[in-house]
Chains A and B, each alone.
Chain A
Amino acid sequence: MAPRTIAPFGPQHPVLPEPIQLKITYEDEKVVDVLPAIGYGHRGIEKACELNEYPKNIYLCERICGICSCIHGITYCEVVERLWPVEIPPRAKFLRTIWSEMSRTHSHLLWLGLLADAFGFESMFMQFWRIREKVLDLLEMTAGQRVTQSISVIGGVRRDLNGEQKKKCIEVLKEVRKESEALIGVLANDYTVKARTVGKGVLSKDQAIALGCAGPTLRASGVCEDCRMQKYQAYGDLEFEPIVETAGDSYARAVVRARETLQAIDLQLEALGKLPAGDINVSVKGNPPANEAIFRSEQPRGEVFYYAKGNGTRNLERLRVRTPTYANIPSLLVMLPGCELADVPIIALSIDPCISCTER
Chain B
Amino acid sequence: MIENLKEIKKDELLSEVKKYADAKARFVTAVCNDLGDKLEVTYYFNASPGMEMSALRIAVGKDEEVPSLTGIYLTAVLIENEMKETFGLKVKDIAIDFGGHMFLAQDSPVLPMLKEKKEAAGEKGGE
Q: B-contacting residues of A (Cβ < 8 Å)?
A: 35, 38-39, 42, 44, 46-47, 206, 209-213, 218, 223-227, 229-230, 291-294, 296, 303, 305, 307, 309, 317-318, 320, 322, 326-327, 329-330, 333, 359
Contact = CB atoms under 8 A, between A and B. Distances in A.
A81 to B, nearest CB: 14
A39 B105 contact: yes
B48 A225 contact: yes
A212 B26 contact: yes
Contacts of A42: 103-104, 108
B120 interface: no
B112 A44 contact: yes
A239 to B, nearest CB: 18
A10 B10 CA distance: 39
A35 B105 contact: no
Contacts of B33: 309, 317-318
Nearest to B55: A294
Given A225-B48, A293-B2, A333 B104 contact: no
B59 to A, nearest CB: 14
A330 B73 CA distance: 10
Interface in B17-39: 21, 24-29, 31, 33
B56 interface: no
Contacts of B96: 35
Interface string B70-104: 00011111110000000000000000100001111
Contacts of A212: 26-28, 73, 75-76
B28 A305 contact: yes
A327 B29 CA distance: 8
Contacts of B102: 38-39
A108 B27 CA distance: 25
A227 B51 contact: yes
Interface of B: 1-2, 21, 24-29, 31, 33, 42, 44, 46, 48-51, 53, 73-79, 96, 101-105, 108, 112-113
B44 A305 contact: yes
21 contacts: A35-B96, A38-B102, A42-B104, A42-B108, A206-B24, A211-B74, A223-B48, A225-B49, A225-B51, A226-B51, A296-B51, A296-B53, A303-B28, A307-B31, A307-B42, A318-B31, A320-B29, A322-B28, A322-B29, A326-B79, A359-B103
Contact of B49 (A39, A46, A224, A320): A224
Given A209-B24, A330-B75, A225 B50 contact: yes
B104 to A, nearest CB: 7
Contacts of A46: 113
A242 to B, nearest CB: 10
Nearest to B114: A47
A210 B104 contact: no
Nearest to A218: B26
A291 B28 CA distance: 21
Given A35-B96, A305-B29, A330-B77, 7 more contacts: A42-B104, A42-B108, A209-B25, A212-B28, A229-B51, A291-B1, A326-B78
A211 B75 contact: yes
A330 B28 contact: no
The 8 closest A-B pairs by CB, nearest first: A212-B75, A322-B29, A42-B103, A330-B75, A212-B27, A320-B31, A39-B103, A307-B31
Nearest to A222: B49
A330 B102 CA distance: 14
B2 to A, nearest CB: 6
A333 B73 CA distance: 13
B21 to A, nearest CB: 7
B2 A294 contact: yes
B94 to A, nearest CB: 12
Contacts of A226: 51
A307 B105 CA distance: 26
B88 to A, nearest CB: 14
